[in-house]
Amino acid sequence: MAVSREDVLNALNRVVDPASGKRLVEGGMVEGLVLKNGHVNFAIEVPAERGAAAEPLRKEAEAAVAALSGVLSVTAVLTAHHQAAPGAAAAAREGAKPTPGGIPGVAAVIAVASGKGGVGKSTVAVNLALALARLGLKTGLLDADIYGPSVPRLLNIHDKPKSRDGKVLEPIEKFGIKTMSIGFLVSEDQPMVWRGPMVASAISQMLADVAWAPLDVLVVDMPPGTGDAQLTMAQRVPLKGAVIVSTPQDLALIDARKGLAMFRKTHVPILGIVENMSVFVCPHCGSESHIFGDGGARRVAEELGAAFLGEIPLVPAIRETSDAGVPIVAHAPHSAEAKAFLSLAENVAATLKAPMRPAPRIVME
Ligand code: ADP
């Protein structure tokens, strides 16, 4: 018989947290319960300072649910209550420097970020990585957008990464770049509950336990937004700099400002802003229209003292090639659209060579 949500909650409520003496559900510690065809996922919120000491509680909760008939698998994760990884939020408030240390054999790690989803961040990250490779740089692409990994689809990769020694994963090579994505490891329909600390450890593993070296540049496709998870990552990942993707719409630019502010907090230099979906090029007549307004991202970049790295047109071919698993830079490297990405890559490569400018001062309105 199928297990119900109520059965799971009842089982969890029989587990008592030794620290507070409260039952898990009554104590409000169970979060994000997902039940799908007998597979159960949930998170247990504990104060950040308890950390690994709460592991026995997590195991007990998992066992309590696993004992129910009809349950095929249980995944419980510990999450810090309304906080990023231990210390991350506090460190950000204090404006602490990011954790030093890079990835041996990787000269530069750069983030591609956006203040919100749907602005074409992954499209830009993938094509930028391919364009950097065409410039002759040994390039890697880490899909850190664990909420919606898109690299498996954008590069049409369905293989699982292999490990030669059982410890380090080999990245998958496609179109001349090395790439890794949580989507290679987890099937698309598997529900995932991600919280700040888990995100940070998943990302740390994909940086440290993957055979990236030797690389000139590793492009990281960040999760969208500016929440705790993203902040934690901006601190954990030894970033040389960040490229912020924005569309010309004002709203998206407000979000882009938030993205800039986040990196500034974590002392990650801003390499610059790229405007995506900048101008619509009619596929029939070739005429250009600025349907979202003209020059918004360039103006905001100027206002904020960040470099303007270029504009990518809104063209059906960019979406179609992405959907087909052969992004435009790989599919038609001499097309006008691919050239926009190559020019972006040249600008990014130049900023990597130049001494890093400090992150601009941001005033939030
Ligand atoms: P994000 O990573 O910001 O969520 P995506 O890269 O997934 O955004 O892009 C969202 C959608 O917009 C996708 O369908 C993508 O193919 C399309 N897209 C992105 N940039 C362009 C562009 N310059 N021209 C046409 N379509 C684009």
Whether residue 141 sits in one domain with residue 50:
no
- Average pLDDT of span 219-234: 72
- Report how far ligand 1's centroid is from the alpha carbon of 126 (Å): 11
CA distance 161 to 179: 10
Say if residue 208's pLDDT is above 90.
no
Whether residue 261 sits in one domain with residue 206:
yes
Exposed, middle or buried: residue 115 (CB in 10 Å: 0-12, 13-18, 19+)? buried
Listing from the earlier edge strand, what are the strands of the sheet with 39-46?
Answer: 30-36, 39-46, 73-80
Whether residue 308 sits in one domain with residue 238:
yes
Query: Does 140 map to a domain?
Result: yes
Query: Does 185 map to a domain?
Result: yes
Whether residue 198 sits in one domain with residue 59:
no
pLDDT confidence band for 221 (50 / 70 / 90): very high
pLDDT confidence band for 269 (50 / 70 / 90): confident
Q: What pLDDT does 147 receive?
A: 74
Domain boundary residue, one of 33, 66, 81 = 81
Say if residue 72's pLDDT is above 70.
yes
pLDDT tens string 124-138: 999 999 999 999 999
- Report how far ligand 1's centroid is from the alpha carbon of 316 (Å): 10
CA distance between the termini of the chain:
55
Q: What pLDDT does 286 receive?
A: 79
Query: Does 97 map to a domain?
Result: no
Its sign, for the CA torsion 262, 263, 267, 270, is: negative
Query: Does 22 map to a domain?
Result: yes
Whether residue 117 sits in one domain with residue 77:
no
Whether residue 343 sits in one domain with residue 266:
yes
Whether residue 205 sits in one domain with residue 328:
yes
- Average pLDDT of span 69-74: 87
CA distance 207 to 230: 15
Q: What pLDDT does 266 receive?
A: 74
Say if residue 287's pLDDT is above 90.
no
Q: What is the mean pLDDT of the chain?
A: 81
pLDDT confidence band for 112 (50 / 70 / 90): very high
| CATH code assigned at 46 | 3.30.300.130
pLDDT confidence band for 357 (50 / 70 / 90): very low
| CATH code assigned at 328 | 3.40.50.300
Query: Does 154 map to a domain?
Result: yes
Pull the structure tokens for residue 117: 């989803």
Where are the strands (E) in 151-240, listed by range?
A: 172-174, 177-181, 215-221
Q: What pLDDT does 326 receive?
A: 97
Whether residue 322 sits in one domain with residue 173:
yes
- Report how far ligand 1's centroid is from the alpha carbon of 158 (Å): 21
Query: Does 257 map to a domain?
Result: yes
pLDDT confidence band for 250 (50 / 70 / 90): low
β-partners of residue 23 are 16
How many residues are there in the chain?
365
As for ligand 1, residues whose beta carbon falls within 6 Å of it are: 114, 117-123, 150, 224, 276-277, 312, 314-315, 318-319, 322
Exposed, middle or buried: residue 340 (CB in 10 Å: 0-12, 13-18, 19+)? buried
For the chain, percent of residues with pLDDT exceeding 70: 80
Range of the domain at 20: 5-81
Domain boundary residue, one of 41, 64, 81 = 81
| Domain count within the chain | 2
Helix and strand counts by DSSP (H, E) for the chain: 13, 12
> Considering only CA atoms, which residue is closest to atom 9 of ligand 1?
120
Query: Does 358 map to a domain?
Result: no
Whether residue 32 sits in one domain with residue 114:
no
Query: Does 91 map to a domain?
Result: no
Whether residue 119 sits in one domain with residue 65:
no
CA distance 301 to 309: 9
Q: Which atom of ligand 1 is nearest to the CA of 117?
A: 4
Say if residue 219's pLDDT is above 80.
yes
Q: Which atom of ligand 1 is nearest to the CA of 316?
A: 25
Whether residue 27 sits in one domain with residue 127:
no
Pull the structure tokens for residue 252: 């998206």
Q: Say if pTM beats, i.e. exceeds, 0.75.
A: no
Whether residue 297 sits in one domain with residue 223:
yes
Cβ neighbours for 355, distance < 8 A, ≥ 6 positions apart: none
Q: Are 86 and 46 contacting, i.e. CB atoms less than 8 angstroms apart?
A: no
